[in-house]
């Protein structure tokens, strides 16, 4: 898929080429770290507060990227960059949930409100593709809403599985999905590149 020319400088290689070649030569992975470390730290800070957590998440992200490098496939609309940011955001959201759970911070809404919301489990009209644009909109959203969109529409998890992972009721997940879609659409319209 990717080939390298003998006389090229590693700094000029595309991310995908560096990643592929780091499987045979792990020392090359440092170029991926150098390219993305600062940006990943900034992005993780948009989710987490403590610098210690931010650094842990970024380190874990690079570990996951390297361990899963052989699974990466470049397809149209999904570059290494979007794949790497997806791993980062999943890792950051997982850490965020853990931190919130440790501090006992959960918010419950009234059960009557949950029941009034439609079931969006099979809604086909709100499919998301993971692109840099979508990631930029996610970064502008409240973390809990971006996380529920990621889990439901990108990872395709049913609402009852999300409820288990988030340790909330299915009704709370329905509420979050509804709010998240509304927030996403508003931000997407506001920051539309078209």
Per residue in 143-175, pLDDT (tens digit) is 888 888 888 777 777 888 888 888 889 888 888
Cα dist. 68→55, 62, 86, 98, 105 in Å? 20, 10, 13, 23, 33
Domains of the chain (ranges; CATH) run: 1-105 (1.10.1740.10), 106-194 (1.10.10.10)
Q: Does the model's pTM come out above 0.95?
A: no
Which three-class secondary structure state does DSSP give residue 75?
Answer: strand
Percent of the chain with pLDDT over 90: 18
Per residue in 107-129, pLDDT (tens digit) is 343 344 344 344 444 343 343 44
Q: What angle, 0 to 180 degrees and rounded to 10, lies between the N-to-C axes of helices 51-67 and 80-102?
A: 140
Contact 85, 64 (CB under 8 A): no
Cα dist. 30→56, 62, 79, 173 in Å? 17, 10, 19, 39
């Amino acid at each position: 898929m990717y080939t390298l020319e003998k006389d090229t400088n590693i700094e000029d290689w595309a991310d995908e080429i560096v990643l592929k070649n780091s499987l045979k030569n792990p020392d090359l992975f440092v170029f991926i770290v150098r390219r993305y470390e600062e940006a990943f730290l900034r992005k993780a800070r948009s989710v987490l507060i403590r610098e210690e957590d931010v650094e842990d998440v970024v380190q874990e992200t690079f570990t996951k990227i390297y361990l899963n490098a052989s699974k990466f496939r470049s397809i149209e609309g999904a570059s290494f960059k979007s794949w790497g940011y997806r791993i980062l955001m999943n890792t950051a959201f997982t850490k965020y949930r853990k931190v919130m759970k440790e501090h006992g911070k959960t918010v419950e809404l009234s059960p009557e409100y949950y029941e009034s919301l439609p079931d969006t489990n099979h809604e086909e009209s709100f499919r998301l593709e993971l692109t840099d644009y979508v990631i930029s909109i996610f970064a502008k959203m409240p973390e809990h809403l971006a996380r529920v969109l990621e889990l439901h529409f990108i990872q395709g998890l049913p609402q009852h599985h999300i409820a288990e992972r988030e340790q909330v009721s299915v009704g709370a997940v329905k509420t979050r999905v509804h709010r998240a879609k509304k927030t996403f659409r508003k931000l997407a319209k506001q920051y539309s590149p078209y």
